[in-house]
Every structure is written in C-alpha cells, then in structure tokens.
C-alpha cells in the first residue's frame, strides 16, 4: 500500500498508483477531427482538440512511472450488427454511422476515423477497449480486465465529458471503482454541459467521483 493524495474537489482523492489506471476515453479522429462522427452530429469539433496536449502530459507521466494505461474507442463492427438501429437513426444526419465520410465509414472499427489521434496512440501492451456504447462497461471485457489487474481507481481523461466520460464514470462508480476526472483533460462540444457534468460528478460529497486537473494530478504522481 502506497497511498498518494491528489488535491481535488469536493475533497482530496487518495489512491495507490499500483492499483490505479489512467483511462483515456474515445480520443478518436471521429470525435476530434473534422469529417468524423462528431461533426456529422452537427458539432464544431475544434474545441475538443485542446484536450490532446494535457492528455499527452498525463499519458507520458503514467507511462514513465509504469502505471496501467487503458484507451477506449467507441465504434461498431463493419456489418453494424452490434449497433442498435435506434443509434443509427438518431441525429437525422446526412451521413450516419456506417456511411462513408472523408475518414472512412463513420464509427466503424478499422476505419481511419475510428482510430485514436497520433499524439495519444496506444503503445504495445496498453489495453484498448473497443466499446459499442457510450459506457466502457457495456458489452466489453473492461470490468474483467480491471479486476484481473487489481485496479481499484481510475484517473479519467477523454471525450466527451457529458457523454462517454461520465457514462463510464457512473458505471465504474456503481461497480466500486473510485474515479477522478481531470477537468482540462476532458472536453465537450458544449461548454455548459462540460461545466454541469463535472459539477454532477463531485456533488453530494463525491457521489460519482472527484474532479481535479492535470497540474494537480501530475503533482500527485510525482510524489
């Protein structure tokens, strides 16, 4: 046991780096680059690119100290058998999940748009969870992998804050994992949703988890 303390809200977050993983959610071209799924839903994706640099600082720190790193990607098999028809229909976009865009078929595994941005690209040995839903626990091996590796706490980064990030944090919280979300390492297409989603995580005495930022997380990892 080597408990570390990270300054956070609503109060300090304590964790053992040996039983903690850095979780980077859905930092895929489809969400952060023009021409992908995020833009097809009607969003300006450029604000999300601001989270790449702080995520990279966390990734470098985790790699440097041998902390477990887990990446997720949202997407579907090429026949879309794992995609609810209701999900394809939503948004009523001109191009939808499975349709061809400038980065390949939207949100389909193996396509350029589905893959993780080069700055944060997984290294061999890092876990990549391919998930069909917003939450990382739905129809994946995520819980089993965390259990097998003895992981109890998650430092959470990625996009988007109020969709895949907090869906996963809520799922993790119900399974007994302790999550801290780093506010500058998560991004939303909607500033108000970002603010309120983070408020919800830490409300009522850390009901779902904690909120900190990369500076305070890096300070905690260095001690």
C-beta closer to ligand TIU: residue 56 or 131 = 131
C-beta closer to ligand TIU: residue 32 or 206 = 32
115 is catalytic: no
Residue of 56, 131, 134, 202 marked active site = 131
Coil/strand/helix, residue 108: strand
For the chain, report the end-to-end CA distance as a whole number of angstroms. 15
213 is catalytic: no
Binding site for ligand TIU (CB under 6 A): 26, 31, 41, 74, 134, 159-160, 163-164, 189
One-character DSSP codes across 119-162: GGPPPTTSEEEEESSSSSSTTSSHHHHHHHTT--EEEEEEE-II
**Nearest distance from C-beta of residue 199 to ligand TIU, angstroms:** 18
Neighbour count for residue 110 (Cβ, 10 Å)? 11
Q: Comparing C-alpha atoms, which of 130, 53, 122, 132 is closest to residue 87? A: 132
C-beta closer to ligand TIU: residue 31 or 137 = 31
**Nearest distance from C-beta of residue 196 to ligand TIU, angstroms:** 14
- Cα–Cα distance between 38 and 34 in angstroms, integer? 8
56 is catalytic: no
Residue with tokens 């948004």: 91
Whether omega before 160 lies within 30 degrees of 0, making that bond cis, reads yes
C-beta closer to ligand TIU: residue 6 or 182 = 182
Residue of 55, 83, 157, 164 marked active site = 164
- Which residues participate in catalysis according to the annotation? 26, 131, 164
């Amino acid at each position: 046991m080597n408990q570390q303390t990270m300054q956070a809200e609503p109060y300090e977050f304590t964790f053992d780096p040996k039983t903690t993983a850095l979780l980077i959610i859905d930092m895929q071209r489809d969400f952060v680059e023009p021409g992908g799924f995020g833009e097809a839903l009607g969003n300006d994706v450029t604000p999300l690119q601001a989270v790449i640099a702080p995520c990279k600082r966390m990734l470098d720190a985790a790699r440097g100290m041998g902390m477990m790193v887990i990446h997720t990607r949202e997407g579907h098999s090429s026949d879309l058998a794992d995609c609810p028809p209701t999900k394809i229909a939503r948004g009523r976009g001109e191009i939808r999940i499975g349709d061809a865009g400038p980065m390949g078929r939207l949100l389909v595994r193996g396509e350029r748009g589905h893959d993780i941005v080069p700055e944060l690209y997984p290294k061999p040995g890092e876990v990549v969870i391919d998930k069909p839903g917003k939450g990382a626990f739905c129809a994946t091996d995520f819980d089993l992998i965390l259990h097998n590796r003895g992981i109890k706490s998650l430092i959470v980064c990625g996009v988007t804050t109020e969709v895949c990030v907090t869906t996963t944090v809520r799922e993790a919280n119900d399974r007994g994992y302790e999550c801290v979300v780093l506010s500058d390492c998560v991004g939303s297409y909607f500033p108000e949703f970002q603010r309120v989603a983070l408020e919800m995580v830490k409300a009522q005495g850390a009901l779902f988890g904690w909120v900190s930022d990369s500076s305070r997380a890096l300070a905690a990892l260095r001690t």
